[in-house]
Structure 1
């Protein structure tokens, strides 16, 4: 069930009324949230809900053993981490590695036939795996005690963030679940603004961009000119930002209405002046998770300049692999790893911010283009598809362009984007000054107009696939 469907909207309104009927009883609210979260997961597949519950039970057992073990005894933590990785690998990467391993066996003439098994990827497995890792590590570091089982189950299954994030840290989110004080709606004007923005971003703008430029151009890149192909790349870069940040806006708004705060996940990433800054603004909860649980444990920047670059590349390769089981995602991660390495090397010899200090606009323009071209591998289904796009991009100079005006419009939006970024704050301030009686009318009118303009059908959340 899509969170942008009318059916879900109606169900959420009923749930919202029932949830706040028990506003003085947080434990009852938690039970409602837990049941609702599992029902949503089960709406995709009953097996997915069962897998989530079994995984929750096993990780909870390990957390108890970790808490009871000596401070220097890491065996239970290692077992828990290995199980988390193995569970994610089995469901998400089995087919990919089976195919690659079988190809290697065939190349070496080794007479081994690996079994062909169809494994469905449980919804949200990538995110609740990261949540569980943050929990067991926090227990090991004594940052929090072992939670009660049902509180931990809600932490892993919390429906606003179980499907496509943001990535919640146990030490920040579990206290919101275990609170004994009555909850209250948090920042209602901001919550409604975020929900409206999400519908505009995903339903309207993202849908229009995808239908008119991204989908047709990526489907047949060899038939389009270089200008059109640039429109396709820029269009997808804008679409994935609108889609993912729109989803984050939606679930953040829902969480605020339920009395919870989710971590900030986006901070205008296309204003970044270099790749390092881009990752401090894009999917912030994931990039911080990778920093704290992969990059720093590998040694971070504490073991010399060369080792730092190796750690950066390893972290970005794992980031790419986390997004999907395919060579394209690994190449995408490698592109970002290589870009950050080159940034570090250039700053070592020319000084930190040597381009940004001279021309912030140029630095932002170069960073945006590097990110856009990296998205090519992210969006294409296979490496041959990406190579076809690159071939067309370097050869189709004689084909008459169709989207020249669109290309100029994209450049215009890019340069006025620093002004547009203030729109959410303006809108929040505006509706906070309007009489509460008129807010439902404004809310419904904006939603109706957005749905009317948007392409038909309920759009998918891109990151729900990961």
Structure 2
């Protein structure tokens, strides 16, 4: 069931009414959330829900033993091994099997490793990372033990289950098990975010995908170089609109349920370097990698050279988190090498020497480097990524699409980025001036208009696959 489907909208409205009928009993609301979240997950595939339930029970047992043990660190390691092992089996088994098979053949060993067809649960990467945050916070004494139903709701909470944001236990879990009576949070913002999400995903990202990204990336050699350049920019806008639109939507759903989710985007294409980009893009992931990979590896405490190695490793692991493929490793490696190069430049020329003097140039260079890395992220394979980049240098094909017009539109959109955030905030503020009965009417009218101008069908979100 897609968040964008009529089926989900009707189910959520019924759930919303029942949920707030129980507003005097937070424990009843949590029970409804737990049942609703598992029903939603099981609607995708009942095996997904079963895997998550077993995982939650094991995590509850390990965390309980960790608290009761005189050597809690041993159980912390056991829990982390279980979490990472669960993710590795379902998501990376084939990748490592094929890599090991190729290595054995290169050594002249004629061994055949068994192939196992694992079903990868949707959202497994996200709830795995959340469980790690719970284990570490519990070990550090930052929160108290969570019973199975509390931990189950934290991991299965349906607005964040499929594609994040990656929530910390000290944030979402503590909100969910707080006994305080809930209220709808920031109604005007929630309604505005729903409209914004529909416009981003259904209309803009959908149009970019169908008109430019999908056809050109599938066969770049059959398009004129200008059309390939247009697709180069189109995908950068598409993935931002797609993922930030998803985040806007689930943030709105959580606000309507009285829950505040962490911010996940902050105008990432306004970044003036790659460090700044990762402070703005998928913020819940970048902060998680910083706190649970980069800092435990030593961070910058062991000298400049070791810090760069830690950064590179953290970014490569970030790429691997997105998928068991060499193209994701290349994407993560490009960002890692880019940040390391930036740090070397800071050491030689002074901190942010370019961005302090020529902010517009730094922003433009950063955007194009990010777009270049996106080619490897979007292409079906490393070979396809190189084919796309070769097609950007020129082909013998005739111009069939309005690439000059799209490139001009992209330039205008990039120039307007500094002003779009404030414009959206003003639009949301205007909702507060409407009477209560006018708000759902405006929401329905905007949704209908967006559906009319959008490409047909219910598109999936890009980050569901991760």
TM range (shorter): over 0.9
Partner of 1:107: 106
Work out whether 1:28 is the aligned partner of 2:21: no
Per mean C-alpha deviation after superposition, the further-off stretch among 168-177 and 16-25 is 168-177
Partner of 2:59: 59
Q: Once the two structures are superposed, what CA deviation does each residue of 1:48-107 show, in whole Å capped at 9, x if it has no partner?
A: 11000000001111111111234x641111111111111000000011111111111122
Per mean C-alpha deviation after superposition, the further-off stretch among 208-217 and 394-403 is 394-403
Aligned ranges for residues 68-147 of structure 1 at < 5 Å? 68-70=68-70, 73-147=72-146
Pair 1:451–1:152, CA change in 2 (3 A): same
Partner of 2:222: 223
Partner of 1:344: 343
Query: What is the CA–CA distance in structure 1 between the aligned matches of 2:458 and 2:211, rounded to whole Å?
Result: 16
Aligned ranges for residues 301-450 of structure 1 at < 5 Å? 301-396=300-395, 399-400=398-399, 402=401, 403-450=403-450
Q: Once the two structures are superposed, what CA deviation does each residue of 1:171-207 show, in whole Å capped at 9, x if it has no partner?
A: 1111111111210000000011111110110001100
| SS of the residue 1:430 aligns to | helix
| SS of the residue 1:280 aligns to | helix
Q: How far does residue 401 in structure 1 lie from its aligned partner after superposition?
A: 6.8
Query: What is the CA–CA distance in structure 2 between the aligned matches of 1:365 and 1:387, rounded to whole Å?
Result: 23
Query: What is the CA–CA distance in structure 2 between the aligned matches of 1:428 and 1:459, rounded to whole Å?
Result: 26
**Where do 4+ consecutive residues of structure 1 move more than 4 Å?**
none
Maintained 8 Å contact 1:331/1:377: yes
Q: How far does residue 398 in structure 1 lie from its aligned partner after superposition?
A: 7.3
What RMSD, in angstroms, separates the aligned Cα atoms of the two structures? 1.1
Query: What is the CA–CA distance in structure 2 between the aligned matches of 1:95 and 1:7, rounded to whole Å?
Result: 35
Maintained 8 Å contact 1:77/1:140: yes
Unaligned 5+ runs, structure 2: none
Maintained 8 Å contact 2:225/2:393: yes
Query: What is the CA–CA distance in structure 2 between the aligned matches of 1:390 and 1:401, rounded to whole Å?
Result: 19
Query: What is the CA–CA distance in structure 1 between the aligned matches of 2:427 and 2:459, rounded to whole Å?
Result: 24
Per mean C-alpha deviation after superposition, the further-off stretch among 99-108 and 146-155 is 99-108
Q: Once the two structures are superposed, what CA deviation does each residue of 1:295-336 show, in whole Å capped at 9, x if it has no partner?
A: 000011111110011000000000000000100000000000
Partner of 1:211: 210
Query: What is the CA–CA distance in structure 2 between the aligned matches of 1:267 and 1:342, rounded to whole Å?
Result: 24
Query: What is the CA–CA distance in structure 2 between the aligned matches of 1:5 and 1:382, rounded to whole Å?
Result: 31
Maintained 8 Å contact 2:197/2:248: yes
Maintained 8 Å contact 1:24/1:182: yes
Partner of 1:6: 6
TM-score normalised over the length of structure 1: 0.98
Q: Once the two structures are superposed, what CA deviation does each residue of 1:16-67 show, in whole Å capped at 9, x if it has no partner?
A: 0000000010000001000111111111111111000000001111111111
Maintained 8 Å contact 1:105/1:112: yes
Q: How many aligned residue pairs are there?
A: 465
Query: What is the CA–CA distance in structure 2 between the aligned matches of 1:244 and 1:357, rounded to whole Å?
Result: 30
Maintained 8 Å contact 2:222/2:397: no
Q: How far does residue 395 in structure 1 lie from its aligned partner after superposition?
A: 3.6
Query: What is the CA–CA distance in structure 2 between the aligned matches of 1:175 and 1:361, rounded to whole Å?
Result: 42
Partner of 1:236: 235
Partner of 1:149: 148
| SS of the residue 1:390 aligns to | helix
Maintained 8 Å contact 1:227/1:401: no
Query: What is the CA–CA distance in structure 2 between the aligned matches of 1:399 and 1:437, rounded to whole Å?
Result: 54
Aligned ranges for residues 155-304 of structure 1 at < 5 Å? 155-304=154-303
Per mean C-alpha deviation after superposition, the further-off stretch among 172-181 and 397-406 is 397-406
Q: How far does residue 149 in structure 1 lie from its aligned partner after superposition?
A: 1.6
| SS of the residue 1:357 aligns to | helix
Unaligned 5+ runs, structure 1: none
Per mean C-alpha deviation after superposition, the further-off stretch among 190-199 and 95-104 is 95-104
Query: What is the CA–CA distance in structure 2 between the aligned matches of 1:416 and 1:436, rounded to whole Å?
Result: 32
Q: Once the two structures are superposed, what CA deviation does each residue of 1:104-128 show, in whole Å capped at 9, x if it has no partner?
A: 1122221211112111210110000
